[in-house]
C-alpha cells in the first residue's frame, strides 16, 4: 500500500489541486460551505498520506526529515480545523517535490544523453566471412567489425580497412568530424559521418573509453563535496531544532497555529537541494564539453587553484618530434639527403623518424658496415661513401671540419632548443638539422586565459635538458621551468609546493606522471595519455584538448559561486519567513509554504544555469 501511494504521488498532488479548486469554487460561486469543507478535508488527507509515509520511513532509519515537519504541521492545522491551511500546504509540498524532481532530471541530462548514445549492436565478422548483427555484449577483443555511414562505432578499436570521417563529440566535446584511415584509433559511441570502415576490437564493454566516461560521470554525480556533507550534518540537527522551537513557541504563547506555522516555514528544503543541484549541473556541463570531473570534491579544490604544474612532452608540446630548422653546406645536397635517408631508414629512433618525414621521397642506396656509436650516432658505408649521421661529438670523432658558419648555426640551433642531427659524407659536413618537439598550437593563448582566471603560477617540470626546457618556457611565458627531473623529483617538487600552502594542480599524460598526479590537490590527465595517468587523476581532458583546461577551471569557479548563491538564497528565505511570522501579521502557513517552494525552484533554476556555461574566448 505504501509503495502504491508513493508511486502515485504526482497523481495525488493533481487530485489534491483539483479538490482545492472545487472547494473554493463551491464557496465563492455557490456559497456551499459543506462541499467547501468536505473537499478540503479529503484534499488534506490524501495529500498528507505520501508525506506521512516518507516521514515514517525516514524515522525508521533514525532520520528526522523535512517530511516530518510538514506532517506534524498539517496534522496540527487539521486538528484545529484550519482545513484551508492543511490542504494548501500538502498540495504545495507535493507540487514542489514534483517540480523539483522534474527540474533535477534536466540537470542530469548529460549522463542520460551519454547512456542513450551507448551503442547496443555491432556488425561482427563471422567464421564464414560474412557480417552479422549481434549485441554489443557479444563482441570480444580481436573481433573484426563493420561500421557503415551513420552508424555508431560499437567498441574502441583500430581501423584495418576503409576510410571515413567520425564525429567524436561524445568523447571530445568537439563536433568537427575527424578523418580516419587504416591504423587510426576509433572510440565507442562516436558516429561515422561518411565512409565505411572495418575495425578490430581492442576494448569492449565497460573497458571502452565511452564506458569509462559514463562510469566516471555517474560516480562523480553520486559523490558528495565537503559543502554537501556539511549541509547533510546541518540538516540532521536543524530539523529537530525546528521541532523544539515550535514546541517552545506553543509552550510559552499557547498559540498552536503560530507553532505549526513555524514548523512549516522552518523547512530547509532549498538548503538541502541547492548544493547538489549545482554540483550535478557542473559535472554534466563538463561531460558535454569533453571534461571529466571525478566528483564534487574536485570542484571545490579546483575552484581555489593558484598553481598549475605541467609536464612538457605531450602536454605543452605535441609529443612528436619534427625537424624545425635545416641548413645545407657544399654541393650534391640531394645525393647527401639520399644517403641520410638510407641510414635513418634502418633506425627506429624518434629523431630518425623526424628526419625521414622531413626528407620525404628519396633515392635509397644499400647500407653496409653499419656501426652504432653509443650516444653519438651512426657510421655506415652507403653506395661506397663513408657517411656519418649524429651529433657534434660524432663529427669530432670523424675529424669533420666545421666551418665558422656551421659552428654559428650549431650554436643557434642549440639555443632554439633543438636536438642536432649532422650528416657528413667522406669527412665533409653536408646537412645540419634541428629536431624538436613542437609546442601545441594555440597553447600560449590558453595559458593567458588561465592567468585571467586567477592562476598565479604556471610551472613546467620535464625530464628533458634544461636548455630545451628554458626555450619552451621563454616562448610560453611560464613562471618557472625545471629540466632533468626524474618522476621522484617531480613528486618531491609538488609536495614542496603543497607544504608551502599552495593549491596545486599537476597536468600530465604518462606513467611517469602518475605519482605527481596522485599527490597534487588536482591531478589533470590528458585523455590520450596512459590508463595509469587517467586512473590516478581527478580531471580528464578528453582527446588531450588543452583548450578544455581553461573551460574546466572557469566551470568549477562558476559552480563554486553557484553553490554559495544557492546557500545564501536558502538561508535568506528561511530567515525572512521566520522573521515575518514572528514580527508581522500578514504571513501565514500557506503563503510561507508558497515562498518556501519558490525558494526550492529558485535554487534549482540557478543551478541549471551551469548547464549553459561556456567560457568566452
DSSP 381: E
- 409 catalytic residue (yes or no): no
Torsion of Cα atoms, 96 then 98 then 100 then 106, to 10°: -150
Per-residue DSSP letters for 23-67? HHHHHHTS--HHHHHHHHHHHHHHHHHHHHHHHHHHHHTT---HH
Beta carbons of 311 and 510 less than 8 angstroms apart: yes
What residue has cell string 630518425? 352
Beta carbons of 148 and 199 less than 8 angstroms apart: no
Q: Which of 175-180's residues contact partners 24+ apart within 8 Å by CB, and which partners?
A: none
Which residues sit opposite 146 in a β-bridge? 123, 198
Q: How far is CA 468 from CA 395, 442, 478, 483, in A?
A: 22, 19, 14, 8
DSSP 615: -
Task: Copy the grid coordinates of residue 562.
Answer: 553557484
- Interatomic CA distance for residues 490 and 462, integer angstroms: 8
Helix (H, G, I), strand (E, B) or coil at 176: coil
- Interatomic CA distance for residues 50 and 70, integer angstroms: 11
Q: Which of 311, 509, 538, 545 is catalytic?
A: 311
- Interatomic CA distance for residues 441 and 462, integer angstroms: 19
The angle subtended at Cα 51 by Cα 45 and Cα 55, nearest 5°, is 130
> CA Rg, the chain, in Å?
34
Torsional class of 587: left (φ above 0), alpha (ψ -120 to 50), beta (otherwise):
beta
Which residues sit opposite 389 in a β-bridge? 378, 423
Residue 283 has phi, psi (to 5 degrees) of: -65, -40
- Interatomic CA distance for residues 250 and 256, integer angstroms: 6
Helix (H) / strand (E) containing 578: helix 548-583
Beta carbons of 242 and 250 less than 8 angstroms apart: no
Task: Copy the grid coordinates of residue 189.
Answer: 559511441
- Interatomic CA distance for residues 233 and 213, integer angstroms: 31
- Interatomic CA distance for residues 608 and 477, integer angstroms: 37
The widest CA-to-CA distance across the chain, in whole angstroms, is 117
Task: Copy the grid coordinates of residue 459.
Answer: 610551472
- Interatomic CA distance for residues 600 and 577, integer angstroms: 14
How many other C-beta atoms lie within 10 A of the C-beta of residue 496? 11
DSSP 157: E
Beta carbons of 248 and 572 less than 8 angstroms apart: no
By annotation, the residues acting in catalysis are 311
Amino acid at each position: 500500500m505504501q509503495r502504491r501511494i508513493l508511486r502515485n504521488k504526482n497523481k495525488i498532488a493533481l487530485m489534491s489541486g483539483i479538490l482545492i479548486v472545487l472547494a473554493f469554487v463551491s464557496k465563492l460561486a455557490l456559497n456551499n460551505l459543506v462541499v467547501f469543507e468536505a473537499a478540503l478535508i479529503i484534499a488534506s488527507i490524501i495529500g498528507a498520506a505520501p508525506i506521512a509515509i516518507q516521514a515514517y520511513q525516514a524515522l525508521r532509519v533514525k532520520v528526522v526529515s523535512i517530511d516530518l515537519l510538514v506532517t506534524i504541521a498539517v496534522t496540527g492545522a487539521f486538528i484545529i480545523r484550519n482545513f484551508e491551511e492543511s490542504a494548501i500546504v500538502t498540495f504545495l509540498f507535493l507540487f514542489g517535490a514534483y517540480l523539483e524532481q522534474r527540474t533535477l532530471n534536466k540537470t542530469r541530462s548529460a549522463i542520460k544523453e551519454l547512456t542513450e548514445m551507448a551503442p547496443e549492436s555491432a556488425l561482427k565478422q563471422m567464421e564464414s566471412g560474412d557480417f552479422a548483427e549481434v549485441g554489443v555484449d557479444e563482441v570480444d577483443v580481436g573481433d573484426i567489425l563493420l561500421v557503415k555511414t551513420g552508424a555508431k562505432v560499437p567498441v574502441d578499436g583500430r581501423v584495418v580497412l576503409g576510410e571515413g570521417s567520425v564525429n567524436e563529440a561524445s568523447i571530445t566535446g568537439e563536433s568537427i568530424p575527424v578523418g580516419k584511415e587504416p591504423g587510426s584509433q576509433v572510440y565507442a559511441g562516436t558516429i561515422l559521418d561518411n565512409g565505411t570502415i572495418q575495425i578490430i576490437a581492442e576494448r569492449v564493454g565497460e573497458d571502452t573509453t565511452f564506458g569509462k566516461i559514463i562510469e566516471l560521470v555517474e560516480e562523480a554525480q553520486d559523490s558528495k563535496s565537503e559543502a554537501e556533507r556539511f549541509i547533510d550534518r546541518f540538516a540532521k540537527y536543524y530539523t529537530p531544532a525546528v521541532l523544539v522551537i515550535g514546541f517552545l513557541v506553543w509552550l510559552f504563547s499557547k498559540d498552536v497555529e503560530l507553532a505549526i506555522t513555524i514548523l512549516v516555514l522552518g523547512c530547509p528544503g532549498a538548503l538541502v537541494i541547492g548544493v547538489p543541484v549545482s554540483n550535478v549541473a557542473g559535472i554534466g556541463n563538463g561531460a558535454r564539453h569533453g571534461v571529466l570531473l571525478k566528483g564534487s570534491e574536485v570542484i571545490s579544490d579546483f575552484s581555489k587553484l593558484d598553481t598549475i604544474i605541467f609536464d612538457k612532452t605531450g602536454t605543452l608540446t605535441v609529443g612528436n618530434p619534427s625537424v624545425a630548422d635545416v641548413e645545407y653546406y657544399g654541393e650534391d645536397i640531394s645525393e647527401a639527403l639520399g644517403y641520410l635517408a638510407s641510414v635513418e631508414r634502418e633506425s627506429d629512433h624518434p629523431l630518425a623518424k623526424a628526419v625521414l618525414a622531413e626528407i620525404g621521397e628519396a633515392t635509397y642506396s644499400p647500407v653496409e658496415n653499419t656501426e652504432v656509436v653509443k650516444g653519438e650516432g651512426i657510421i655506415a658505408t652507403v653506395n661506397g661513401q663513408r657517411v656519418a649521421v649524429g651529433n657534434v661529438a660524432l663529427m669530432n670523432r670523424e675529424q669533420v671540419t666545421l666551418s665558422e658558419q656551421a659552428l654559428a648555426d650549431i650554436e643557434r640551433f642549440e639555443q632554439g632548443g633543438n636536438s642536432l642531427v649532422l650528416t657528413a659524407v667522406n669527412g665533409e659536413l653536408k646537412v645540419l638539422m634541428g629536431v624538436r618537439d613542437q609546442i601545441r598550437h594555440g597553447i600560449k593563448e590558453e595559458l593567458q586565459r588561465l592567468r585571467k582566471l586567477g592562476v598565479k603560477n604556471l610551472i613546467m617540470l620535464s625530464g628533458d635538458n634544461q636548455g630545451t626546457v628554458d626555450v619552451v618556457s621563454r616562448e610560453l611565458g611560464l613562471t618557472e621551468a625545471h629540466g632533468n627531473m626524474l618522476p621522484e623529483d617531480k613528486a618531491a617538487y609538488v609536495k614542496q609546493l603543497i607544504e608551502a600552502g599552495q593549491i596545486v594542480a599537476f597536468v600530465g599524460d604518462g606513467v611517469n606522471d602518475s605519482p605527481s598526479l596522485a599527490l597534487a590537490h588536482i591531478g589533470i590527465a590528458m585523455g590520450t595519455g596512459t590508463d595509469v595517468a587517467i586512473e590516478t587523476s581527478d580531471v580528464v581532458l578528453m582527446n588531450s584538448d588543452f583548450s578544455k583546461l581553461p573551460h574546466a577551471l572557469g566551470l568549477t569557479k562558476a559552480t563554486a559561486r553557484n553553490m554559495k548563491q544557492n546557500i545564501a538564497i536558502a538561508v535568506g528565505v528561511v530567515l525572512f519567513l521566520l522573521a515575518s511570522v514572528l514580527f508581522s501579521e500578514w504571513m501565514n502557513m500557506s503563503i510561507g509554504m508558497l515562498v518556501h517552494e519558490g525558494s526550492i525552484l529558485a535554487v534549482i533554476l540557478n543551478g541549471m544555469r551551469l548547464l549553459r556555461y561556456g567560457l568566452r574566448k
